[in-house]
Amino acid sequence: MPKINHKIIQWARTTAGLDEEQAAKKLGLTDTKKASAIETLLALENGDVFPSRPQLVKMSKHYRRPLLTFYLSDVPRHGNRGQDYRTLSDTVEITQKALVDVVIRDIQTRQSLVRSVLEDEDEAIRLPFVNSLEVEDGVNRAVSSLKKRLEWNLNEYRKHSNIEKAFAFLRGKAEEIGVFVLLVDNLGSHHTTIETEAFRGFALADKVAPFIAINANDSRGAWCFTLLHELVHLWLGATGVSGNFGKQKVEKFCNDVASELLVPMMEVKEVRIDNKTEFLEAKNTIENFARSRNVSNTMVAYKLCRANCITFERFLEFKSSFKEDWVKFKKKERLKAKDKQPKGLYYPTKRQRVGAALINLVSRMMYDGAITTTKAGKVLGVRPQNVEGVLANIRPYIARNLV
């Protein structure tokens, strides 16, 4: 039996976003007279002792790595987060970066399974819009291309009574053209919650099975903007993590296209705000403007900045204030949820996170015997025994209406 490289054990834990205490608990290590649970873990990571087969299996499960990884001769090279905007900010904690990497690997696995089953069933249709544009083509051409492919109707988007319904409408448009849209909030528990500073959205460009992940911990208004932003990345054929309103060339381009689709520049110039406008008055105006159009406050502030109505520094002030408001709102919502202690939300929540497109595909492929329950669980992000519950009472012709 080949020896295990102890460096890989430590690498697997840290890239899974687990500290020593969390890992020891997940691996079932306990304190003994000779050593504490953490000391036992460190002995494994330092190469003082070799892990047993059952311990390796647990590591594989909780560190989210294939078992064969632990038999490699050296630590694998770091995975690429994307092409043009791929390095997460230095302000993002290392554990959050690790969680993002886990999410990326998970989505890549799910994408690979979907592409494989589509190819096996002769349903692999190559999507012409993926990698059809370059930044040099300009914002106007990109806006025109997305409008045509999505059959985008701004008035129809805005007529929805709230931002959740507006997002469901936009998500449906994306899924209709062959894009799978996921909402991601954590890796299974609140201990692995992924902050918006780590990522707001993620695009995996692919001609057959393009995937987009959106951070569900972000504001509802931000979901819509992020989805359009990531769609632009697909048009560019660019894979990677998108953070906040960055200054990189590709990010700025995607921001400009997404914001133009939601709020045309001609409308923004009608907003009577400049750097001299009193802060609270300006903030109030932005909030009312955003609410009437089912968009995020921060996006409107960004658009005002791009229209040279306010400076970038002023935009950052608004952005910080709106984030503060969102954090306070989230805190209140968590307290309400704790008091109510809602039950029976597991399957509805999973359906919303996964989206109608994947649910329809998995349901149909299982009915045809083209995919096993185990693979269905991987695609849906649930255990095999929960697949039936996620698919229960969901018919393909109504599933796309999931909010």
Look at residue 243 in the predicted model and tell me its pLDDT: 56
Domain limits of the chain? 6-71, 80-262, 346-399
Region of residue 21 (left: phi > 0; alpha: psi -120 to 50; beta: else): alpha
Asked if 197 and 244 touch (Cβ cutoff 8 Å), the reply is yes
pTM check: above 0.85: no
CB atoms within 10 A of CB 352: 17
CA gap 50, 43 in Å, rounded? 8
CA gap 70, 57 in Å, rounded? 10
The SS3 assignment for 87 reads coil
Amino acid at 174: A
Q: Which residue has the tokens 């307290």?
A: 335
Both tokens assigned to 318 = 């608004």
Q: Percentage of the chain with pLDDT > 70?
A: 87
What's the CATH number of domain 6-71, 1.10.260.40, 3.40.50.150, 3.40.50.2300, 3.30.9.60?
A: 1.10.260.40
Look at residue 6 in the predicted model and tell me its pLDDT: 87
CA gap 13, 223 in Å, rounded? 31
Residue 18 gets which letter from DSSP? Answer: -
Beta carbons within 8 Å of 309's beta carbon, 6+ residues apart: 268, 269, 271, 273, 274
Asked if 264 and 150 touch (Cβ cutoff 8 Å), the reply is no
Amino acid at 273: I
Q: What is the per-residue pLDDT across 181-229, written as a single tens digit (0 to 9) for each?
A: 999 987 666 667 788 877 888 899 999 999 999 999 888 889 999 999 9
Look at residue 338 in the predicted model and tell me its pLDDT: 62
Within the chain, which residues score under 70 in pLDDT? 1-2, 76-94, 187-191, 240-247, 337-344, 394-403
Both tokens assigned to 254 = 């995607």
Beta carbons within 8 Å of 355's beta carbon, 6+ residues apart: 171, 175, 180, 181, 182, 183, 402
The SS3 assignment for 213 reads strand
Beta carbons within 8 Å of 324's beta carbon, 6+ residues apart: none
CA gap 376, 388 in Å, rounded? 10
Amino acid at 91: T
Cα separations in angstroms, 61 against 1, 66, 99, 377:
21, 8, 15, 15
CA gap 76, 98 in Å, rounded? 14
Look at residue 331 in the predicted model and tell me its pLDDT: 85
Residue 108: Cβ-neighbour burial (10 angstroms; 0-12, 13-18, 19+): middle
Both tokens assigned to 321 = 């204030």
Q: Which residue has the tokens 């990109």?
A: 142
Of 254, 262, 143, 126, give the one whose Cα is nearest residue 202: 254
Cα separations in angstroms, 177 against 125, 170, 172, 209, 216:
11, 11, 9, 11, 22
Asked if 273 and 286 touch (Cβ cutoff 8 Å), the reply is yes
Cα separations in angstroms, 101 against 52, 105, 107, 213, 386:
27, 6, 10, 13, 25
Both tokens assigned to 6 = 């102890």
CA gap 359, 347 in Å, rounded? 12
Measured CA angle at 35 (ends 93, 21), to 5 deg: 20
Q: Which residue has the tokens 């569900």?
A: 216
Asked if 194 and 185 touch (Cβ cutoff 8 Å), the reply is yes
Q: If residue 241 lies in a helix (H) or strand (E), which one and from where to where? A: strand 240-242
